[in-house]
Amino acid sequence: MNPTNTKHYENFPVASVLCPAPLRPAVKAIYLFARTADDLADEGDASPDQRLKMLALYKADLMACAQGQSGSGNWPGVFAALAPQLRQWQLPLNLLSDLLSAFEQDVYTTRYSEQAGLLDYCRRSANPVGRLLLHLYGVKDAESLRQSDCICSALQLINFWQDLSVDLPRGRIYLPADMQARHGVSPDDLLNGTASAGSCALVAEGVAWAQRLMLEGAPLVRRVPGRAGWELRLVVQGGLRIAERIAQLDFATLRQRPVIGRRDALVMAWRTLWM
Residue 131 · residue 157 · CB < 8 Å: no
Q: Which has the higher per-residue pLDDT, 20 or 105?
A: 105
Using N-to-C axis directions, what is the helix angle for 197-217 and 226-248, rounded to 10°? 160
Residue 230 domain flag = yes
Are residue 259 and residue 130 in the same domain, yes or no? yes
Alpha helices in the chain (DSSP H): 24-42, 48-66, 76-89, 93-108, 115-125, 127-136, 142-162, 164-167, 177-182, 187-191, 197-217, 226-248, 262-273
Are residue 62 and residue 163 in the same domain, yes or no? no
Are residue 138 and residue 74 in the same domain, yes or no? no
Are residue 217 and residue 81 in the same domain, yes or no? no
Model confidence pLDDT, tens digit, residues 65-119: 999 999 999 999 999 999 999 999 999 999 999 999 999 999 999 999 999 999 9
Q: Which has the higher per-residue pLDDT, 7 or 184?
A: 184
* Three-state secondary-structure class, residue 173: strand
CA angle 243, 246, 252 (to 5 degrees): 150
pLDDT at 1 over 90: no
Domain that holds residue 49: 20-93
What confidence category does residue 143 fall into, taking pLDDT thresholds of 50, 70 and 90? very high
Give the pLDDT confidence score for residue 7 in this predicted structure. Answer: 46
At 214, which CATH number?
Answer: 1.10.600.10
Q: Residues 228-257, buried b or exposed e (16+ Cβ, 10 A)?
A: bbbbbbbbbbbbbbbbebbeeeebbbbeee
Domain count, the chain: 2
Give the pLDDT confidence score for residue 175 in this predicted structure. Answer: 98
Residue 67 domain flag = yes
Give the pLDDT confidence score for residue 16 in this predicted structure. Answer: 62
Pick from 248, 129, 113: nearest CA to 174: 113
CA distance 203 to 105: 23
pLDDT at 191 over 70: yes
What confidence category does residue 19 fall into, taking pLDDT thresholds of 50, 70 and 90? confident
Give the pLDDT confidence score for residue 10 in this predicted structure. Answer: 54
Residues 138-149 have a mean pLDDT of: 97
Are residue 32 and residue 152 in the same domain, yes or no? no
CA distance 257 to 238: 15
Please give the C-alpha separations between residue 24 and each of 32, 181, 206, in angstroms, as whole numbers: 12, 45, 34
Residues 14-22 have a mean pLDDT of: 70
Using N-to-C axis directions, what is the helix angle for 93-108 and 48-66, rounded to 10°? 180
Are residue 247 and residue 142 in the same domain, yes or no? yes
Residue 8 domain flag = no
Are residue 137 and residue 51 in the same domain, yes or no? no
pLDDT at 29 over 70: yes
Average pLDDT value for the chain = 93
Residue 4 domain flag = no
Are residue 114 and residue 86 in the same domain, yes or no? no
Are residue 88 and residue 191 in the same domain, yes or no? no
Q: Model pTM?
A: 0.93
Portion of the chain with pLDDT greater than 70, in percent:
93
Number of Cα atoms under 13 Å in the Cβ half of residue 26: 21
Give the pLDDT confidence score for residue 13 in this predicted structure. Answer: 52
Residue 99 domain flag = no
Judge residue 129's burial from the number of C-beta atoms within 10 Å of its C-beta, 0-12 exposed, 13-18 middle, 19 or more buried.
buried
What confidence category does residue 21 fall into, taking pLDDT thresholds of 50, 70 and 90? confident
* Residues facing 173 on adjacent strands: 111
Residue 103 domain flag = no
CA distance 48 to 222: 43
Give the pLDDT confidence score for residue 17 in this predicted structure. Answer: 61
Model confidence pLDDT, tens digit, residues 204-257: 999 999 999 999 999 999 999 888 899 999 999 999 999 999 999 999 999 999
Are residue 69 and residue 115 in the same domain, yes or no? no
**What DSSP line would sit under 124-150, residue for residue?**
HHTHHHHHHHHHHTT---HHHHHHHHH
| Boundary residue ending a domain (33, 67, 93) | 93
Are residue 245 and residue 186 in the same domain, yes or no? yes
Residue 12 domain flag = no
CA distance 150 to 168: 25
What confidence category does residue 33 fall into, taking pLDDT thresholds of 50, 70 and 90? very high
Give the pLDDT confidence score for residue 225 in this predicted structure. Answer: 86
Portion of the chain with pLDDT greater than 90, in percent:
88
Residue 101 domain flag = no
Residues 4-24 have a mean pLDDT of: 61
Are residue 114 and residue 243 in the same domain, yes or no? yes
Give the pLDDT confidence score for residue 6 in this predicted structure. Answer: 39
Residue 213 · residue 153 · CB < 8 Å: yes
Separation of CA 169 from chain center: 20
